[in-house]
Amino acid sequence: MKNSEIRPGSYRKTQHPIETLILERWSPRAMSGEAVETGQLMRLFQAARWAPSPANGQPWFYLFTTRDRADWPLFYGLLDAGNQEWCHKAWALVLVLAEAVRPNGRPNRLAGFSSGLSVQNLLLQGHALGLVTHPMAGFYPEKVAETLGTPPEYDPQIMIAIGQPGKIPELSARNQAREYPSQRKALSEIVRKGGF
């Protein structure tokens, strides 16, 4: 079975109706190893570009590689062992950076927030194209500057694996058990009228 055959709406139940694209987006791990066209990757970054941003600061920055490039091992080497276990069949690895210091030298308190909005656009566009787009916190941000030459004002936020959908049985037993759409907290746990 391919993860593209999974319908998250069968697992997830909303308390109020929302757009299908939002409900159906999830973060699979199984990828086929097949190439993703450059044009499709650029559509993901184009979607990311149009995210809302306080004061239109747009502090996000994306570095990426594909498995056919010589710098693939540099990006892959930034991942922790748990993510390396399944990311070897990704076609692209993306590093998301946030410009945490403004050009005027002042800290940008909302850089991470803005970059997160941009990433969500990328993930939704990837889902719309039928691609696997899986954001990962499991990497070594302290190695990014030395490995990829990023300037100090840019903070590593997250990495994203991108690929074509793959077969779930090709994952390790541990990851097969996790290859399903995750749930979310009830609204009553995250929303409240008035003060905290």
pLDDT in tens, 27-49: 999 999 999 999 999 999 999 99
Helix (H, G, I), strand (E, B) or coil at 134: strand
CB 20 within 8 A of CB 7: no
Is 122 within a domain? yes
Q: Using alpha carbons, select from 19, 25, 12, 23 the residue that is nearest to residue 125.
A: 25
Q: Count structural domains, the chain.
A: 1
Residue 6 is predicted with a pLDDT of 85
Residue 72 is predicted with a pLDDT of 98
Which residues form the domain of 167?
A: 36-176
* CATH at 97: 3.40.109.10
Residue 50 is predicted with a pLDDT of 98
Is 65 within a domain? yes
Q: How far apart are CA 77 and CA 72, in angstroms?
A: 8
Contacts of 81 (CB under 8 A, 6+ apart): none
In the predicted model, residues of the chain with pLDDT beneath 70 are none
Question: Which amino acid type is present at position 110?
Answer: L
Helix (H, G, I), strand (E, B) or coil at 24: helix
Polymer length in residues for the chain: 196
Is 10 within a domain? no
Q: How far apart are CA 51 and CA 64, in angstroms?
A: 19
Is 139 within a domain? yes
Residue 76 is predicted with a pLDDT of 98
Which residues partner with 110 through β-bridges? Answer: none
Strands (E), 32-179: 60-66, 92-99, 132-136, 154-163
